[in-house]
Structure 1
């Protein structure tokens, strides 16, 4: 990620933190027994933090942003960005639900700032970074899984050939050739996807 993009993301997370602090000050869960009984606002798969304060989760996002792997480690870098994007969306969803909680708890809290927009800048920043890179990485991951399965199938066929007669061995050999053809097409698809990823990453560095 470019330095200016990183600075912009940090600024947007700071804005998210301000909204989270306003949400916490409103104490919208105070009169809801169900929410008070919960150990955490979010699933452990999204956050490691366990808290009923929204700002605590934004602090975890800040830590994730500050420890973002370098761009050279592109797989780890994009995985971390995807995680940050999911975390931002999760916090935003809670903030977006503020009017619902205000109505249910009959709160008199009125935010000083304008209501949170449905399309916040930090959401746009994350989407600009992730799209279409994360889709290409999903495609690459799927292709690598196909490659792994085909390699295993080839190895299994070779093991079967060791105890077969000439006729059956010939049939298995034809099966191996067909698998190798599929493996070749799969590896071409992997190379094509990797080239697309390189183009996207070069565009992000501009």
Structure 2
């Protein structure tokens, strides 16, 4: 079942596709040797597509939207939305730079002034779905990494205790207790962040 925000995102991706087609028709890279020598417009970390046509990347975005994981797989669903948001922003940035390429080519192609105003809604549509969820996921990821490091530090301290005398062992034991205190606070932070994520996702499902 799709949310209103998801439907809005689909509409805005369709609008983005129209602007990408307009950009491609203008052939703004045609006179630029550097761009013509490039195998791809974007980094592989953002798109798997390799093309010098902007619309090809929007087609990949459409595929990502069409294969979006279901809402009950919330982690995968939100991760996919963040990826889509990054892809949309990347294409939008190229469209936004149209005047620069026009100047480069001294082209007669003139984009409609409404492009900037019309591109704002898909930024808003994406943000409505993933904000502040993606920030919370970043926070959760950082907390889990911190938890992992603390657990490793505790294990290292336990190994040290096997080869030291009683005085040194006592000092290491105090260090372990301190690490457990930090670990406990870290896990509380993880639980608090997970609760916030659940609240955000419940709001998205309304």
Band of TM-score, shorter chain: over 0.9
Which portions of structure 1, spanning 4 or more consecutive aligned residues, are displaced by more than 3 angstroms?
none
TM-score normalised by length of structure 1: 0.93
User: Aligned-pair distance for 1:114?
Assistant: 4.9
Aligned partners of 1:142, 1:109: CA distance in 2, in Å?
46
Aligned partners of 1:10, 1:114: CA distance in 2, in Å?
23
Deviations 1:68-102, CA, capped at 9 Å, x for gaps: 11222222211111111111011011111112222
Aligned partners of 2:71, 2:137: CA distance in 1, in Å?
14
Aligned partners of 1:114, 1:172: CA distance in 2, in Å?
67
Contact kept? 2:6, 2:129, Cα under 8 Å: no
2:94 corresponds in structure 1 to: 94
Contact kept? 1:2, 1:204, Cα under 8 Å: no
2:20 corresponds in structure 1 to: 20
Aligned length: 205
Contact kept? 2:3, 2:205, Cα under 8 Å: no
Deviations 1:84-132, CA, capped at 9 Å, x for gaps: 1111011011111112222221222245x55312552111101111211
Deviations 1:35-83, CA, capped at 9 Å, x for gaps: 1111111111111111110000000000111111122222221111111
Q: Which runs of 5+ in 2 are unaligned?
A: none
TM-score normalised by length of structure 2: 0.93
1:122 corresponds in structure 2 to: 122
User: Aligned-pair distance for 1:4?
Assistant: 2.3
Deviations 1:167-204, CA, capped at 9 Å, x for gaps: 22222111111111111111111111111111111111
